[in-house]
Amino acid sequence: MSRSRTRRVVVIGGGANAEHEVALAGATGVAKALCSTGFEVDELTIGRDGVWRQGSGALGARPADSLAAALSIIERADAVFPVVHGPNGEDGTLAALCALASVPVVGSGVRAGAIGMDKWMTKLVAQAVGIATAPGRLITGIADVRFESQVAVKPVSAGSSYGVAVARDADELRAALADAARYDDRILVEDVIAGREIDVAVLQEADGHTWAAPALEIHADGLFDTRTKYDGSARFTVPAVLTDADRTALTDAALRLFDALGCAGLARIDFFLTEDGPVLNEVNTMPGMTPESQVPKMFAAAGVPYEQLIARLVDTAAIPG
């Protein structure tokens, strides 16, 4: 979508899930960036209770009433920029809403959002296109899980590392499974991979050209969990210091998975870089979007400042197919 036609953008933040606060921060950053570059912006927020709001006022007493009011704002938009992470947002839900309303949306469509949010399905797609993943199994319901070494326990569909833990013995495993079950009834148990944590951000421009920004390395003491992500203790190196071979392998894997999932607009693809090459960790089809988030840092290293990145993402907006 050309920027000359895209003048009014609806930015949606919040969400009725555990990532509500970080999505609010990202939506605020996106809205400010768009205003600074000449767009007209309407800001909508989905409350933890599912009620849609504009400013401090609820648009209805119940989620359904407020959604109906929000749609009257969305239908006037040239594009919707949903900065809602996790379930009922990044998982294709908001893309589906925009598809039904025939309004262009920034980011991936329904299918890519749903598959990308599902860590188990993402593993299967990655394996099908030759990208290594950690050995693991899907747990549904109560199961007797046995292991010989430490494992990572993850809710299948959750973000910001909520419910993610490393278990080193049976007691820790029971606790980790119970915590993960708070976020999803499907749980992924994987072998712990020893390697550097490297993230790759992929941008699909308005003309369809897809490219990857310089990779970012995460430095954290222990697990890069929810607390570490947001307490400022983690350090990032961007561009990551990589050999030409590793850089090529990571970029190739990220672009292949972006294409295989059918992503659009933007995605952050996270890897462990091992002695044998990249091993997929997970995919984020709507990653953190504050000016200090990992993806904007990566594109800044490529010479694309935050405001320009946000404007270029609006240029990519399309009605989900």
At 209-218, the pLDDT tens digits run 999 999 999 9
User: How much is the pLDDT for 201?
Assistant: 98
- For tokens 């925009």, the residue is 98
Give the integer Cα–Cα distance in Å for 43 and 27: 8
What is the pTM assigned to this prediction? 0.91
User: How much is the pLDDT for 229?
Assistant: 52
Domains of the chain: 8-107 (3.40.50.20), 114-132+194-315 (3.30.470.20), 135-191 (3.30.1490.20)
Segment holding 260, helix H or strand E: helix 244-261
pLDDT in tens, 193-203: 999 999 999 99
Mean pLDDT along residues 278-307? 96
Decide: helix, strand or coil at residue 174: helix
Question: Residue 6: is its pLDDT beyond 80?
Answer: no
pLDDT in tens, 90-130: 999 999 999 999 999 999 999 999 999 999 999 999 999 99
- For tokens 């419910």, the residue is 163
Q: Transcribe 177-210 into DSSP letters.
A: HHHHTTT-SEEEEEEPPPSEEEEEEEEE-TTS-E
Mean pLDDT along residues 234-254? 96
- For tokens 């990308």, the residue is 116
pLDDT band at 159 (very low <50, low <70, confident <90, very high): low
Residue 266: partners with Cβ closer than 8 Å, 6 or more residues away? 106, 107, 201, 202, 203, 204, 285, 286, 287, 295, 313
User: How much is the pLDDT for 2?
Assistant: 46
Structure token pair of residue 178: 């119970």
Decide: helix, strand or coil at residue 94: helix
